[in-house]
Chain A
Amino acid sequence: MNRTQIVLVLLGIAALVAAPLGQGNYIVYTLTSWLLFSIAAMGLNLTLGYAGQISLAQAGFMGIGAYVTALMTLAGVPWILAALSSIGSAFVVGLLLGYPALRVQHHFLAFVTLAFNTLLFLVLRNEEEITGGSFGLMGMERPTVFGISTDGNLNFYYFALVCFLVAAGIMWWILRSPWGRAFKALRENPIRAESLGLKVRRQTLLAFAIGSAFAGLAGALQSPLVQFIEPHSFALNHSLKILLMVVVGGAGFFFGPMLGAAVVILLPEVLRFTEGYYLIIYALLVIILMVYSPNGLIGLGQKLWSKLRPRHEARRDMDKGFQL
């Protein structure tokens, strides 16, 4: 990261700290929800944007995280242990699902993960004794961290913000490591990657499981945020929503999922002044964006930037290197 990028990141964090100040409960709740979905979308971005595998089960993994945390905290286990268990559970289930599922790729994998999400929904709905069935689970308390209660919405927002920043830091670390380079290689040319010694299956499986673990963390936060969870919150339409966040923001860009989550969660709220038309306008805006910029908002930004500042063209640079 260069100095300008560090300054921009610090400004971004300052904006996130300031964002809920003076706002009502609903806006603070919506902002917290955006943080949670950003974490889940970050995970899917690793699987889809970097490793090139489509998953339609991200909400399902969020559900695993939410239910594990809910059941454990209701049993009196501290949130931090419950959250770690949620992350671990989502990771392990990701490995178990990915191992057979990643024998197929692209849209076939999408169907396998779609089936998993549907199956999980049915299990959550039908296993009433454990999950509460359609009535769900309620009464999960918000955690107390270093003696500070996160009961209030503002406190919980800051708690979620810290979790979000830790998750983003971990994701940044993964992506700047040789693993990140290997994930990108899988997306761009898996055959070549394998010829260079990359164990394609193992690395793809890891991307899938790590992406799932991020959803597990998002679920672990969802449980105390809403203090009520039920199977519909983790149904297929929510997986599609998370997919939309990644695609709209820009798959394969670090900040893409955060931007995408902002559009998917915050834009409908911003458009509410249009009353009955807000979903139509929202859908149209997303369609126009996808037609004009399949690389999402970050791709759109890059497109506009390259128009303002022509990019370096190697072939014109004949005087510097070998002339080919």
Chain B
Amino acid sequence: MSAPILSVRNISKRFGGIRAVNDVSFDVRKGEILGLIGPNGSGKSTLFNCILGQLKPTEGHCEINGKSTDGVRPAELSLMGVGRTFQQLSVFPKMTVLDNVILSGQEHEGSMFSRLMGAGDAGLTRKAEQLIEFFRLTPYRDTEAGSLSYGQQKLVDAAMAFMAGPGIVLLDEPAGGVNLTMLAHLKERLQTYNREHGVTFVVIEHNMEFVMSLCTRIIVLAQGEIIAEGSPEEIRANQMVIDAYLGG
């Protein structure tokens, strides 16, 4: 079995007297699509932020490709091959779709000086156009991202996360506020990208239909602890998960 791309080791996070995450450990291997689910307040977002170095765990640590993420700034994490999307829309609204996608890769190209003296697009237009085409956004290439629909902006957001060629992408509620037609498209594109490029995904999501059909493995959190782990079928049948989260 290959070495894990992401290792979460005994992570706990306390806020005063509240234990948001309690001794959570798991590995994610290359090419996996892992879903993190759980009711509100179960610690998903706190765990996500600990993995991304935005919160310092009270105990434990995370490693990406064997390197600790403790104290690592988000920019360095990106340069380590970690892509992410945010729960809220986070495109650059006054920039065109093409510029949004180019920006997402330019900091990974050349030196700071070469980025000033070299081509305006850092040589990334072709690659950005391919990603825009992949998400079927070509007609909007030169449109300001802020003027697109919510669903289209979610696709731009995903394209941005992939532009730098990350090994692992953490998706924070990608299905939030997205209509059914768009969801099917987004899921199909993510699965295709995973299959074609071997990129690993960790997905936080509340939409059970989406997460069950997208992910290859699911971890369920409740009150900061892992209560179940397994394939979507195993999770669906797990009585503890049904009681704590899925309901009858």
How far is B148's CA from A312's CA once the two chains are assembled, in angstroms? 10
Q: Contact check, B164 vs A314: say whether CB atoms are below 8 A apart.
A: no
- B residues 166-192 in Cβ contact with A at 8 Å: 179, 181-182, 185
Q: Contact check, A185 vs B75: say whether CB atoms are below 8 A apart.
A: no
Q: Contact check, A195 vs B179: say whether CB atoms are below 8 A apart.
A: no
Closest 6 pairs between A and B when the two form their complex, measured CB to CB: A197-B107, A324-B151, A320-B139, A197-B78, A321-B139, A192-B90
How far is B14's CA from A254's CA once the two chains are assembled, in angstroms? 48
Task: Point out residues on B near A: beta carbons under 8 Å.
Answer: 73-75, 77-79, 84, 86, 90-95, 99, 102-104, 106-109, 112, 115-118, 120-122, 135-140, 143, 147-152, 155, 160, 163-164, 179, 181-182, 185
Chain B: minimal CB distance from A173 (Å): 8
Q: Can you list 11 residue pairs at the A/B interface with Cβ under 8 Å?
A: A178-B102, A179-B115, A181-B102, A184-B94, A196-B78, A197-B75, A197-B79, A199-B75, A314-B148, A322-B136, A324-B149
How far is B84's CA from A145's CA once the two chains are assembled, in angstroms? 55
Q: Contact check, A188 vs B151: say whether CB atoms are below 8 A apart.
A: no
Residues of chain A within 8 A (CB-CB) of B99 are 181
If A182-B107, A197-B108, A197-B164 touch, whether A188 touches B93 (CB-CB below 8 Å) is yes
Number of interface residues of A (CB under 8 A): 34
If A179-B115, A320-B139 touch, whether A198 touches B75 (CB-CB below 8 Å) is yes
- A-B CB contacts (within 8 Å), total count: 118
Q: Contact check, B107 vs A196: say whether CB atoms are below 8 A apart.
A: yes
Q: Does A240 contact B (CB under 8 A)?
A: no
How far is B93's CA from A179's CA once the two chains are assembled, in angstroms? 18
Task: Point out residues on A near B: beta carbons under 8 Å.
Answer: 174, 176-182, 184-185, 188-189, 191-200, 202, 311-315, 317, 320-324
Q: Contact check, B107 vs A174: say whether CB atoms are below 8 A apart.
A: no
Residues of chain A within 8 A (CB-CB) of B164 are 196-197
What is the predominant secondary structure among interface residues of chain A facing chain B?
A: helix
How far is B86's CA from A246's CA once the two chains are assembled, in angstroms? 33
Q: Contact check, A194 vs B92: say whether CB atoms are below 8 A apart.
A: no
Q: Contact check, A177 vs B185: say whether CB atoms are below 8 A apart.
A: no
Residues of chain B within 8 A (CB-CB) of A202 are 112
Q: Contact check, A174 vs B106: say whether CB atoms are below 8 A apart.
A: no
Q: Which residue of A lies closest to B108 (CB)?
A: A197
With A177-B117, A188-B95, A196-B75 known, 18 other A-B pairs at CB within 8 A are A177-B116, A177-B118, A178-B102, A181-B102, A181-B103, A181-B106, A184-B95, A192-B92, A193-B103, A197-B164, A199-B75, A199-B107, A202-B112, A320-B139, A321-B138, A321-B140, A324-B152, A324-B182
If A176-B120, A198-B75 touch, whether A191 touches B181 (CB-CB below 8 Å) is no
Q: Which residue of B lies closest to A202 (CB)?
A: B112
Residues of chain A within 8 A (CB-CB) of B117 are 177
Residues of chain A within 8 A (CB-CB) of B148 are 314-315
Q: Contact check, A189 vs B181: say whether CB atoms are below 8 A apart.
A: no
Q: Contact check, B84 vs A314: say whether CB atoms are below 8 A apart.
A: no
Chain A: minimal CB distance from B167 (Å): 14
